[in-house]
């Protein structure tokens, strides 16, 4: 069933789940597009006003079976969004904890496929030279080819049709949450895997502090289309008939310590005022910031330097076909 873009106050109470065929996703929150646009602009991330043209509000829906959260109507980031975001040094990082963990599941003679490979940073961690990457961004493709990497500007669904059961490992880091049809995306990944091959996915961990960050633009459309809880990720095994699947929660990165404390203080400030943290009206943001400033010293004192047991930004999915 297809929906047209809703008019003001016309969001449906349910939409179809993006992961479980036949299941419904229930409306949990209604977000005003003008507020999303304003927060993107306030943080100097990107101008996303054109993406929301004709869409006054979007809904946050949760699948009643799989627990996957998605936004409707689907507002998908265009190439211009990522061109703006990659101006920030933190957007495409060469060193990621998830790379170090994931490469332990790749053997030297494996044929590996990475989807959404960016500038090919993960390839540097691999013991295998049998590497293929898929990437939309033309600048990133050029950077990969300058490194001698086999990277193609080809859509996964077309690539998969010609590469059934070809790869020992198929991986995608911080990609799944961006795609408008995650079921088709995962199905194509599995289609490319040999029997017994390993599927490696990473996403922002919705059950970590990321789910509590107030006004987290990068976790909202048009950047992120879906949010993945552990329950939603574990549902992948049954949905795609995998023989095994487990989740690896990565620890909090050192460079996220301040971000973590600031996020928790902001979340607690929203609770103090009685606001939902997902999208605070920009007109009362100063009040939230005042409370956050008051709470931040206590939050930092509470955690001190003991961040070892805190769940980090990312979670890895390791599945076996």
pLDDT in tens, 91-145: 766 678 899 999 999 999 999 999 999 889 999 999 877 999 999 888 888 889 9
Beta bridge partner(s), residue 61: 27, 70
Please tell me which residue, 92 or 293, carries the higher pLDDT value: 293
In the predicted structure, residue 1 carries a pLDDT above the cut 70: no
Tell me what the mean pLDDT of segment 179-208 comes to.
98
Tell me what the mean pLDDT of segment 201-205 comes to.
97
Question: CB 133: neighbour CB atoms within 10 A?
Answer: 26
In the predicted structure, residue 27 carries a pLDDT above the cut 60: yes
Residue 273 and residue 291 in contact, taking contact as beta carbons nearer than 8 Å: yes
Q: Judging by DSSP bridges, how do beta strands 130-134 and 111-115 pair with one another?
A: parallel
> What is d(CA 121, CA 129) in angstroms, rounded to the nearest whole number?
14
pLDDT of amino acid 195: 98
Residue 281 and residue 287 in contact, taking contact as beta carbons nearer than 8 Å: no
Q: Parse the chain into domains and list their residue ranges.
A: 14-85, 97-251, 255-303
In the predicted structure, residue 5 carries a pLDDT above the cut 70: no
Q: CA nearest 130: which of 97, 163, 158?
A: 163
Share of residues in the chain with pLDDT > 90 (%): 81
Query: Domain spanning 97-251: which CATH class is it, in words?
Result: alpha beta
pLDDT in tens, 301-319: 988 777 888 999 999 999 9
pLDDT of amino acid 95: 72
Tell me what the mean pLDDT of segment 80-87 comes to.
82
pLDDT of amino acid 9: 58
pLDDT in tens, 242-289: 999 999 999 998 889 999 999 999 999 999 999 999 999 999 999 999
Tell me the pLDDT of the chain averaged across its residues.
Answer: 92
> What is d(CA 92, CA 99) in angstroms, rounded to the nearest whole number?
13
pLDDT of amino acid 196: 97
In the predicted structure, residue 3 carries a pLDDT above the cut 50: no
pLDDT of amino acid 167: 98
Q: For residue 2, name the pLDDT band (cuts at 50, 70, 90).
A: very low
In the predicted structure, residue 160 carries a pLDDT above the cut 90: yes
In order of 96, 107, 130, 214, 274, the CA distances from 110 in angstroms are: 21, 5, 7, 41, 52
Backbone angles phi, psi at 36, to 5 degrees: -60, -45
Tell me what the mean pLDDT of segment 37-54 comes to.
93
Nearest 5°: CA angle at 12, between 79 and 46?
Answer: 25
pLDDT in tens, 213-229: 999 999 999 999 999 99
CA dihedral 256, 136, 167, 70 (to 10 degrees): 60
pTM of the model: 0.93
């Amino acid at each position: 069933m297809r929906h047209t873009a809703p008019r003001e106050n016309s969001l449906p109470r349910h939409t179809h789940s993006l992961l479980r065929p036949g299941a419904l996703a229930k409306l949990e929150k209604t977000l005003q597009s003008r507020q999303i646009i304003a927060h993107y602009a306030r943080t100097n991330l990107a101008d996303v006003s054109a993406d929301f043209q004709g869409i006054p509000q979007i809904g946050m829906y949760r699948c009643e079976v799989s627990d996957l959260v998605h936004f409707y109507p689907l507002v998908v980031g265009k190439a211009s969004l990522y061109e703006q975001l990659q101006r920030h040094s933190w957007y495409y990082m060469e060193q990621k904890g998830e790379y170090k963990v994931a490469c332990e599941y790749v053997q030297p003679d494996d044929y590996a496929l990475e989807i959404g490979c960016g500038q090919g940073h993960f390839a540097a961690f691999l013991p295998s030279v049998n590497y293929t990457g898929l990437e939309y961004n033309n600048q990133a493709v050029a950077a990969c080819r300058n490194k001698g990497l086999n990277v193609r500007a080809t859509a996964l669904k077309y690539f998969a049709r010609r590469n059934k059961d070809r790869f020992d490992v198929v991986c995608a880091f911080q990609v799944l949450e961006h795609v408008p049809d995650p079921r088709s995306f995962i199905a194509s990944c599995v289609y490319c895997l040999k029997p017994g091959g390993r599927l490696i996915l990473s996403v922002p961990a919705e059950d970590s502090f990321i789910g509590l960050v107030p006004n987290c633009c990068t976790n909202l459309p048009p950047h992120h289309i879906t949010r993945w809880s552990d329950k939603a990720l574990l549902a992948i095994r049954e949905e795609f008939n995998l023989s095994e699947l487990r989740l690896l929660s990565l620890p909090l990165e050192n460079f996220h310590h301040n971000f973590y404390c600031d996020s928790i203080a902001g979340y607690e400030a929203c609770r103090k005022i009685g606001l939902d943290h997902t999208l605070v009206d920009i007109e009362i943001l100063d009040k939230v910031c005042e409370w956050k400033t008051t709470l931040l010293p206590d939050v930092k004192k509470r955690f001190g330097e003991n961040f070892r047991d805190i769940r980090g930004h990312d979670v890895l999915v390791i599945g076996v076909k």
